[in-house]
Structure 1
């Protein structure tokens, strides 16, 4: 098989390394890849936010299977574009990727279907968010709804931190740009943070190993 791995981070490097070990892999292409990945396969520049460019590359390189690592191309609809062209890709369509691309959307889905989640409210203007914080003192969690490279969730242990977080997201600074135009303010839940992963085809699922994505220094 000719396999294409989309992305340039450590996640995609690990995927490419594992793919290279498979006897099914005849040719490995990484796009855009990174210097470390170049020892595993050919790295070809491509914009990960451009589904058509990625699909064009897959057709040009005669790719049998494309594995998409980052969230950005998934939210942009790269799998939808592949399906239109009859190309095989591992990843969700844009409608399903919205669960990752919009925290507000995913929280609303959980609420609608009775999936346990922390209490929350969503805001698009600074004054309403500030009023909510005055009625709900810290500790509290403030999240930019959109993709923010894993840095959009702020655990605020003081009221000052909470007000600063919403000011940075909804105020003039708008540090997260479009991703911070909608903010989720969420109940603080104490305990160990963990992520559990599953691969699902719409009918069946396979559980993978759990992990902990803990970015807060000195804890």
Structure 2
């Protein structure tokens, strides 16, 4: 069969790499792809948001299965239009994808479905939100433990954690007035700041059956020790000991099952990947956000460990047959992904800097370098984004997997390259 993966990041490279291992797959296309997917699949120079061109390509090539990776085309209704064109496609509908596309919709649904989450208020203007902060926190010396969020998609950056009144007012100004995140800031949320460890639980569902994947732990802040601004994710490891079997059962019963039922009641049945970003508080797990696709970088260590044919799982979800699927098989060894980023990320950065050492890193045992923001220029791999590579490794223990991943990192160099040095260290604290 022929498979088309839509997208060009680290998640899509991992998907293409894993799908290409299926004995049932003859050819994997990635649109638009990157320098890494050019090695493991066939790149197609079509933007991930160009629905007409992607549909035309899929029909011309007789594509048997389309997998939409990023959130933007999902929220824009790509699955609906592809299905109308007669294509088999994996991912949620436009109506279902609003679970990620609008934080206001998500929070309201969590509230009505009685799913544990932070208390919150929604606002349609910066003035209204600022007035709330002034009224609620009158004493300037009083701590202001809130999180200010842009309603729409902001590439993982539209969430600002605050500790003081001025920080909260500045966050509101950036989102609602300066429109730092564009139209994502048309509405905003102010919610209580939860205390605890974050974890990610992903599940694949066909709207009826839920297949939960091993829990992972992402590292959102830019710098070591969880300091600095939020990013799209600086690394992840899987499985995380912070979620044991008992806690996973609670997440399934209190979060995943209720949200699938709530979406069905809202006449937005959900098919695809359901990603719950959780804060593990003293009062139990609470939902920070829902995403409607594989997380990036969580996807990379997850797929490194998956032994079951991913195509079988995805087709079962598309066809509504997940309940017939045998339990997924996993490599017992943990896996770690370390993101290497461009100088200046998550702010401004320069592109086009040549990257060296990729082959040496890939040659290390149990290491795979997944490309995210890379581009081929005259046959040379260059950086083309903020998060550039996801150096992913497995090991008998989390410590050994970390050692292998950073061995891979040490082989790779380009001007301004950097990464966090503490990915997976949280596991030692569990």
TM-score clears 0.5:
yes
Q: Deviation per CA, 1:11-32, whole angstroms, max 9, x where unpaired?
A: 1111111001110110110000
SS at match of 1:23: coil
> Is residue 128 from structure 1 mapped to residue 123 from structure 2 by the alignment?
no
Coordinate RMSD, CA, aligned: 1.2
In the alignment, which residue of structure 2 is the partner of 1:114? 114
For 1:209 and 1:3, the matched residues in 2 are separated by 25
Unpaired stretches in structure 1, ≥5 consecutive residues: none
Which aligned pairs between 1:27-38 and structure 2 lie closer than 5 A?
27-38=27-38
> Is residue 166 from structure 1 mapped to residue 172 from structure 2 by the alignment?
yes
SS at match of 1:175: coil
> Is residue 17 from structure 1 mapped to residue 17 from structure 2 by the alignment?
yes
Aligned residues: 218
In the alignment, which residue of structure 1 is the partner of 2:217? 212
For 1:139 and 1:66, the matched residues in 2 are separated by 43
SS at match of 2:154: coil
Mapped contact 2:8–2:48 kept (Cα < 8 A): no
For 2:136 and 2:17, the matched residues in 1 are separated by 47
In the alignment, which residue of structure 2 is the partner of 1:200? 205
For 1:132 and 1:212, the matched residues in 2 are separated by 33
Whose RCO is larger (CA < 8 A, sep 6+)? 2
For 2:135 and 2:63, the matched residues in 1 are separated by 55
SS at match of 2:197: coil
Instruction: Give the C-alpha shift of residue 131 in structure 1.
Output: 1.4
In the alignment, which residue of structure 1 is the partner of 2:5? 5
For 1:213 and 1:150, the matched residues in 2 are separated by 12
Instruction: Give the C-alpha shift of residue 96 in structure 1.
Output: 0.5
In the alignment, which residue of structure 2 is the partner of 1:181? 186
Instruction: Give the C-alpha shift of residue 209 in structure 1.
Output: 2.0
For 1:55 and 1:45, the matched residues in 2 are separated by 13
For 1:213 and 1:95, the matched residues in 2 are separated by 27
Instruction: Give the C-alpha shift of residue 135 in structure 1.
Output: 3.4
Q: Deviation per CA, 1:67-86, whole angstroms, max 9, x where unpaired?
A: 11100110111110111122
Q: Deviation per CA, 1:51-94, whole angstroms, max 9, x where unpaired?
A: 22222221122100011110011011111011112210110000
Mapped contact 1:65–1:88 kept (Cα < 8 A): yes
Unpaired stretches in structure 2, ≥5 consecutive residues: 138-143, 227-430
SS at match of 1:193: strand
Question: Which structure has the bigger radius of gyration?
Answer: 2
For 1:142 and 1:63, the matched residues in 2 are separated by 42
SS at match of 2:215: strand
- Which stretch shifts more, 130-139 or 5-14? 130-139
Which aligned pairs between 1:21-100 and structure 2 lie closer than 5 A?
21-100=21-100
TM-score normalised by L of structure 2: 0.50
For 1:141 and 1:135, the matched residues in 2 are separated by 17
Q: Deviation per CA, 1:95-115, whole angstroms, max 9, x where unpaired?
A: 000001110111111112211
